Amino acid sequence: MNPVELRGVGYAYGEGELRRPVLREVDLTVGAGEIVLLTGPSGSGKTTLLTLIGALRAMQEGSARVLGVELNGASERARVNLRRRIGFIFQNHNLLGFLTARQNVAMALEQDGATSEGARLARAGELLAAVGLAGHEDRLPAKLSGGQRQRVSVARALATEPGLVLADEPTAALDKVSGHEVVQLLRNLAKSRGVPILLVTHDPRILDIADRIVAMEDGRIVTADEVPG
């Protein structure tokens, strides 16, 4: 079974005369350890699709099986439980400014009541070192560069050892060097741990990390190309 299997997924905003379809009959599969980039113009449905896969909004049409859980008809509790198994990385980092890098990462581990605060902080330090931030653990986000803040968000996404990573424009606010470093971190994660990554991007600089590039237009997948090795 693949980590992500979508069949005939449709979604619309609004109702009645205001109803506006944003996804139409989307079929998509993502295999273990695969890096799939979702590209396409603004408004093509990429982010909506990502939020459906991440169980951040309820399904309307079709089937979405993510990490073995069918999301069409799933309860809110089932969706919450699934979200805990997914690592999310966003363009704007979403770090809490009053917490250190270490504390931001440790927060992701708080749902595990069996782990002490000391153990959570120690694990957060290990993850920050793994993404190249050793020595920066106790800095506040305002004292980190944009690339460093995105590395913290990568570490936070990895904290719960997710079965899937979803990333929405993770390099959009980064310069070329920082963006390249972040996507290489993600690539190493996918290949070393077998964790699939579905990444929405407009950034042509990072297309070379993909196993497959899926282009969307007007709510539909128009091409799905493997990247030559």
CB 93 within 8 A of CB 150: yes
pLDDT value of position 162: 92
Residue ranges of the chain that CATH labels 3.40.50.300 = 1-85+163-229
What confidence score (pLDDT) does residue 99 get?
Answer: 94
| Whole-number pLDDT of residue 94 | 82
What is the rounded CA–CA span in Å between residue 49 and residue 45? 6
Which element (helix H / strand E) includes 85? none
The reported pLDDT for the residue numbered 182 is 83
1-85+163-229 is a CATH 3.40.50.300 domain = yes
Neighbouring C-beta atoms of residue 16, cutoff 10 Å: 5
| Per-residue confidence (pLDDT) for residue 229, from 0 to 100 | 52
Q: Which residues pair with 25 in a beta bridge?
A: none
Q: Provide the pLDDT for residue 224.
A: 67
What is the pLDDT at residue 183?
A: 83
Q: Angle, to 10 degrees, between the axis of helix 146-158 and the axis of helix 117-130?
A: 130
What's the confidence (pLDDT) of residue 34?
Answer: 93
In angstroms, the CA 88 to CA 157 distance is: 6
Q: Which of 165, 136, 166 lies closest to 148 in space, CA to CA?
A: 136
- Length of the chain as a residue count: 229
Q: What is the pTM of this model?
A: 0.89
Average pLDDT per consecutive 10 residues, the chain (229 residues; last block may be shorter): 95 91 96 93 93 96 97 96 92 86 90 79 90 92 91 89 92 80 83 90 84 94 69
pLDDT at 132: 86
> Six-digit token pair at 164?
């899937």
